[in-house]
Structure 1
C-alpha cells in the first residue's frame, strides 16, 4: 500500500467532481497526503471548497495560472501553510472555442498564443515556483492526450499544445532532475469532463476507443488517479520525463 502520510500535494485544475484532478485528489488523500487544491476563478470556488471539505486537512487556494503574479502569490500562501511540498499536479488546459472547433488551418495567432500559454507555459511557471518548496525532492505531474501525436477530429490547436506540453515535460525533467524532482505526464483516454464538452462529436471518440482498445472500454477518471498516485510515490522513484498512457491500450492499436 502506498503511504503518503506527511506529504503535501498541490493540485491545480479542479473544476468539479467529474474532473480528473478530483480523482487524483481522492487517491492522493486516500494514501494520506495533505491536499492544497487550487481552483482557477471565483466561479469555481464553491465547487472546489465543497469537494475539498470531503477530504481531511485539504485547503483551497485561488490561482489563475495564466498570471505569474497569481502563481507567485499562491505559492507564497502555500509556503506559509506548508513549508515543504512533495507533489504538484498540473491538470490545466485551455484554448479558445474557435481554435478547437474550426479547421486547424484557420487558427488565429492570438488563439494559438492563449492555448500555448495556458496549456503549456503554465506548467513551466508552476514548476519554477514549486521547486524551492520541494526541498526533499518529489514529483510533478501533468495531463496530456494522444492528440499530441495523432490527429483527432475537433481537437486541433489543443493537439499542438499537448505536443508542446510533452516536450516541456522532458526538458523540465532534465532541469529538475538534479534536485531529485521527477516530472512526468499521464496521457489519459477520453473522459467526460467539463473540458471534453468543448470537443465536437466527442461521443465518436469514446465509441472508437470502446470498439478498438484492447480492453474494449473507456478509461475511468479514478484509474488516472491511481496512476497519478503511483507516479507520486517512491515506487516510481526511477521514472522521469515519461508519458504514461492510461487509455485501456487504445494508443497501441492500428486498425
Structure 2
C-alpha cells in the first residue's frame, strides 16, 4: 500500500460485499477504506471464490470474514449477526454484487425470461434493500451505504440488456432509502463508475470497444480504475460529505456528460 492518505476513517467499521479478486471494484473500496484507517469485514461468495478472496482479506487486515451468497437463505442475516456480536455497530456498507443468468443477459431484454429478470433484480437490487434493513440498526450514530450502478441505468448501452432496468431500479432504491434513512443520519449513495476491466464486465459483448470509446469521450481523457472508485466512496463516508446523500455519483472522468 503505497498511497499515503490521512486516516480520516479511523475507528470506523466497514462491511464490503462483492470482492471476487484484486480487480474488483469492491476490492478498490476495501483498500481505500483500509488506507483511510477503517476496520474491515469482507465476504466471499462461496467455496470456489474463497481461495481468491481470502489472501486479499489477509493483505487488508480484515477483522471479520465470512461467506455470503445473498440467494442462500440465512447467510445475509448470519453476517450481520456476527458484525453485531463482534463490533456492535457498523459505519459503512458497500454492496457491489450483480448477477443475471447468462442466457437472459445475452439474449436482449425482449427475450429475457421472467425467472431471469426476477433473479437479476433480487441479487442485483433487492439484496441491497435487505442489507440496508439489517445494517440500519447497527448504524447507531449514522453511516454511509453504497451500491454500485452503471451508466446503462440511464442511457441505453449496447449489450447491457436486462442489467439496464435492474440498475435503474437500484438507483431508485438508493434514493428512496436515502429518504427513509436520512432522519437516522444514514446516507445512501449510488456510485456509477465508468467501464472497468472487472470479471463481471467480461461477460458483456464487445466490452473492449466500450472501454476504448469511454476513454476517447471522457473530458479527462482516460479511464478510471478501482481505486478512483474506492477513494470516492472513502470521501463520501467521511464527515466532509455529511450533507451529501441520495444522488448517483459518477466516477468516470466526466464521460457521462458527453453526448
Three-state SS of the structure 1 residue aligned to 2:48 is helix
In structure 2, how many angstroms separate the alpha carbons of the residues matched to 1:194 and 1:94?
12
What corresponds to 1:165 in structure 2? 170
What are structure 2's unaligned runs of at least 5 residues? 1-5
SS in structure 2 of the partner of residue 205 of structure 1: helix
| Contact 1:68-1:125 within 8 A present in 2 as well | no
Q: Deviations over 1:147-204 (max 9, x none)?
A: 0011111110001100000000001011111111100011000000010111010011
Deviation at 1:115, TM superposition (A): 0.5
Deviation at 1:2, TM superposition (A): 5.0
Q: CA deviation at 1:40?
A: 1.4
1:241 and 2:233 matched: no
Residue 258 of structure 2 aligns with which residue?
Answer: 253
**Partner of residue 56, structure 1:** 61
- Classify the secondary structure of the residue corresponding to 2:93: strand
Alpha-carbon distance between aligned partners in 2 of 1:77 and 1:103, rounded to the nearest angstrom: 40
Q: Give SS of 2:191's match.
A: strand
In 2: Cα distance, 1:25 partner to 1:183 partner: 17
How far, CA to CA, are the matches of 2:217 and 2:63 in structure 1? Answer: 39
SS in 2 for 1:53: helix
Q: Secondary structure at the match of 2:158?
A: coil
Distance in 2 between residues matched to 1:99 and 1:241, nearest whole Å: 30
SS at match of 2:65: strand
Could you say which residue in structure 2 is the equivalent of 1:199? 204
Aligned residue in 1 for 2:75: 70
How far does residue 66 in structure 1 lie from its aligned partner after superposition?
2.3
Equivalent of 1:213 in 199, 218, 233 = 218
CA distance 1:19–1:166, shift in 2 (3 Å): same
State the Cα distance separating 1:68 from its structure 2 match. 4.9
- Segments of 4+ moved more than 6 angstroms: none
Q: Which residue of 1 aligns with 2:95?
A: 90
Task: Pick from 107, 118, 121 the counterpart of residue 123 of structure 2.
Answer: 118
Q: What does residue 101 of structure 1 align with?
A: 106
**Cα distance, 1:4 vs structure 2:** 1.2
| Structure 1: segments with no counterpart, 5+ residues | none
Matched residue, 1:226: 231
SS in 2 for 1:142: strand
TM-score (norm 1): 0.97
Partner of 1:80: 85
When normalised by structure 2's length, the TM-score is 0.95
SS in 1 for 2:147: strand
